[in-house]
Amino acid sequence: MLYCGFNFLFCVVAILCINLLCAEIFHKNKCVETERRALLKFKDALILGRNDLTSWKGEECCKWEGISCDNLTGHVTILDLHALDYTKGLQGKLDSSICELQHLTSLNLDNNRIEGKIPKCIGSLGKLIELNLIGNKLVSVIPPSLGNLSNLQTLDLGFNDLTANDLEWISHLSNLRYLGLSNVNLTLAVDWLSSISKIPSLSNLYLFEYLDLSYNEFQSSILKSFRNMSQLQELQLNYNKLSSKLSDNIQKLCSAENGLRKLDLSDNPFIRGPLPDFSCFSSLEALSLRNANVVGTFLKSTVHFPTLRSLDLSQNQLNFVEIIDHAYLPTIYSLDLSFNQLNGSQPLFEITKLASLKTLHLSHNHLSGSIPHTIGQLSSLAKLLLSSNKLSGVINETHLSNLSQLRILDVSQNSLSLNLSLKWVPPFKLERLYASSCTLGPKFPAWLKHQGELEILDISHNGISDSFPKWFWNLSLSLRYLNVSHNILKGTLPKSFTRTKGNYDYDHGWDVWDFSFNNMNGSLPAFPELGVLFLSKNMLTGSLSSFCTSSSQSLIQLDMSSNFLEGQLSDCWGKFKSLEVLNLAENNLSGKLPNSFGALRQIKSLHLNRNNFSGEIPSLILCHKLQLIDVGDNNLQGTLPMWIGHHLLQLSNLRMRANKFQGNIPTSLCNLSFLQVLDLSQNNIIGEIPQCFDRIVALSNLSFPRTTFQHMSFIHFVENEVYETGPFIDKEILAWKGSNSEYDKILGLVTIIDLSCNHLTGEIPQSITKLVALATLNLSRNNLTGIIPSKIGHMERTNDKHVTSEEDEDKLITFGFYVSLVLGFIIGFWGVCGTLVIKTSWRRAYFKFFNNMKDWIYVTLAVFVNRLKKRFQVED
């Protein structure tokens, strides 16, 4: 699978070849009519989208998508409708008509969204060799009739909502080798393994090669049951309730019989203790003890892994590294010690003794000092991840000149400087470079010129004070993630970006380019296909009209705020069908707002403040998803639109301050349950303050869930690693506690009504006192009369109990609030090639994750998600 990642093209070619081959072999099939009808019935029970099973029509059912027939008899033998993309998977029920396909040898519905029960009659499909229903939404009890499938070799029912009351039937499956019961509720059947294994004559367990019991509640006592399974090669017990000392667990599992090659005990946080001796496993190749409370020293002389190739000890409490002899880990090529307590300079120095390493992951420790030159001895190193430590000093050619295999380098979030001469030609071709918050500057790093295979480049926060070299624009065309923000880059962008076919082979709709916080000047070019474009805080000039007509329609987030853009907006915005965030604030834009803003049906956040826009606000009644509208500090006029309160029911922030709006405050605003910030100050508004503000639940109920202004975050994958580019967080400058400050992460907690500097008359309504969640109320400089309601001082938020310090709140939010993030994903190599690999644990985790995260994810990708789960606080 490693090679798959690196040879993307090879994988594609392989898939194509397989497809062509299949087409050729099965070309001559004739379909059996009863089976054809059964298939149509099966199809009818599904809810189909436009692109689903469109080939399922006509007589020749053997040629339908996902179907293979016996080339002599014409019987359907294979039904394979596994989905690459869970969100696009088939929905609906699994109809019992499937049982009429009596010649099926393989039924694979992997990774769809099929609901309902597993039909009992599946037990009658006696020829089945493979039954794969993993990653659907099947419910209820697994029918014991599956015990009749005597030819079954592979059975995977994981990641549904299935329960097993009894698993005695498994013992009848004498050919079963591969069993996946991940996340099946085995509470009532928890003793099955030990009870069956006591009766060897009854049991096929000894023949299992693969057993996935992850995401269950097994305790350490289960481990003994695996000892006699001499054929068992891979055992997944991650996410269970194993407890006691690690050494006791290993002892229970270990026996001379054991031929285990892969063992996953990760995410069993009740395990604890130092690394014990593993030499009793004579052939262990991959071991994961991630998040299992492993403490102490990594690799004392008593610990011996004679055959280990991959070792994951991340998220533990290891605090010391001592590699006495490479002979204790003679074959290791992948070592993950990230998220531990390693400190000082010694661990890295020690680890460079493991000369066979290809992958080294030490991010998120407390490593300090400089990177030893002995790193150059790891000449096979392909992936080196050192981010978020306290490393300092210089990385120069001496470190890197031996590392000809290097593809992925992450040195971000340290205090490292990369001092590489302008003439240096690296021996490697990087695919991903993460070097945020290093010192690559002040000159633009010239050695990148030779890195034509880069897809991800993050050199943000690097003090680069230079203009972009010309070759960089050619390089940029193949980048899927480019972040050069927070430097001092100057000069102009090229006139246009033209991608030739050779630049890339995949869909670029999700590409992210971030040029923000630099000194770029000149006008806007025609950008290539991008999902995210950030250009804010530069000195860009000129008009937006050619940008709008020439740019790709795939944009999801566009931030051009704080530049010197000018002129009118042309009426071409309707093309951005996916746009969720549009920020044009703080420019010199003028003229009418285009009507085509009203066609931005996905828009959630619209910042147009601090420009010179005039005229009325166009109708946005179809923009139901809007959470934030800021048109403040312009020259807009007309009455305050009634439709806001009738159609934009998600609206949380409405800022129309400092314009020329007139007329009354529409009472329809009181329909907006989520409204937290209403700023109508400095307009020509007349009439009385509506009595009904107490109907705004977000202001009258302290425990009402706050809107989070975090938009889609972009995540990409480096093999098992998940990199998050961070969500786009809306910023607003708000008057709060008497001063203007910028709010981003805590914006969702701010509650303000500001109606100051208008011509409001009448009395302050009593109902204002019910707005207990309101923190700031500004009614000054109007013509209000009467008395100030006596209870107004009791509005609870006016004491600011809830917002103590910005820093505290930021912490709070970044943790808990991630749950409600909408995640976006960049489709990576592993998405395509990962699906060729069936038996890996991270794939399981991915289904689980998506089942949990429901449907708000736009993804096609497999994720090693345990870390994400933790990060996003998703419950099991």
Ligand X SMILES: *[C@@H]1O[C@H](CO)[C@@H](O)[C@H](O)[C@H]1NC(C)=O
Binding region for ligand X (CB under 6 A): 25, 71, 120-121, 123-124, 145, 148, 163, 185, 187-188, 197, 224-225, 227-228, 319, 343-344, 373, 376-377, 379, 394, 396-398, 402, 417, 419, 470-471, 474, 759, 783
Least distance in angstroms from the C-beta of 72 to ligand X: 6
Least distance in angstroms from the C-beta of 548 to ligand X: 26
- Of 575 and 781, the one with the shorter C-beta distance to ligand X is 781
The span from the CA of 755 to the CA of 770, in Å, is 17
Least distance in angstroms from the C-beta of 686 to ligand X: 8
The span from the CA of 353 to the CA of 337, in Å, is 15
Least distance in angstroms from the C-beta of 188 to ligand X: 5
- Of 599 and 689, the one with the shorter C-beta distance to ligand X is 689
H/E stretch holding 17 reads helix 8-25
The Cβ of residue 283 has, within 10 Å, a number of other Cβ atoms equal to 12
Strands of 25-132 (E only): list them: 46-47, 67-69, 76-80, 91-93, 106-108, 113-116, 130-132
Least distance in angstroms from the C-beta of 669 to ligand X: 21
Residue 101 near residue 119 (C-beta atoms within 8 A): no
Query: Dihedral (C-alpha) 432, 436, 441, 442: value to the nearest 10 degrees?
Result: 140
- Residues 536-575: b if buried by 16+ CB within 10 A, e if exposed: bbbebbbbbebbbeebbebbbbbbbbbbebeebbbbbbbe
The span from the CA of 684 to the CA of 288, in Å, is 66
Integer CA distances (angstroms), 827 to 506, 511, 819, 859, in order: 9, 9, 21, 7
Least distance in angstroms from the C-beta of 166 to ligand X: 12
CA 267, distance to chain mean position in Å, is 20
Least distance in angstroms from the C-beta of 875 to ligand X: 10
Least distance in angstroms from the C-beta of 399 to ligand X: 7
Strands of 459-547 (E only): list them: 481-483, 490-492, 512-514, 519-522, 532-534, 539-542
Rg from Cα positions in the chain: 31
- Of 163 and 667, the one with the shorter C-beta distance to ligand X is 163
Closest CA to 730 of 550, 589, 583: 583
- Of 476 and 653, the one with the shorter C-beta distance to ligand X is 476
**DSSP collapsed to 3 states, 193-246:** HHHHHCCHHHCCHHHCCEEECCCCCCCHHHHHHHCCCCCCCEEECCCCCCCCEH
- Of 855 and 875, the one with the shorter C-beta distance to ligand X is 875
Integer CA distances (angstroms), 694 to 673, 688, 703, 759, 765, in order: 10, 15, 15, 22, 10
Least distance in angstroms from the C-beta of 366 to ligand X: 7
Least distance in angstroms from the C-beta of 493 to ligand X: 14
- Of 522 and 687, the one with the shorter C-beta distance to ligand X is 687
Residue 765 near residue 691 (C-beta atoms within 8 A): yes
H/E stretch holding 418 reads strand 415-418
- Of 741 and 783, the one with the shorter C-beta distance to ligand X is 783
Least distance in angstroms from the C-beta of 283 to ligand X: 19
- Of 87 and 396, the one with the shorter C-beta distance to ligand X is 396
End-to-end CA distance of the chain: 28
- Of 57 and 373, the one with the shorter C-beta distance to ligand X is 373
The span from the CA of 757 to the CA of 840, in Å, is 63
- Of 148 and 545, the one with the shorter C-beta distance to ligand X is 148
- Of 48 and 874, the one with the shorter C-beta distance to ligand X is 874
Least distance in angstroms from the C-beta of 858 to ligand X: 28
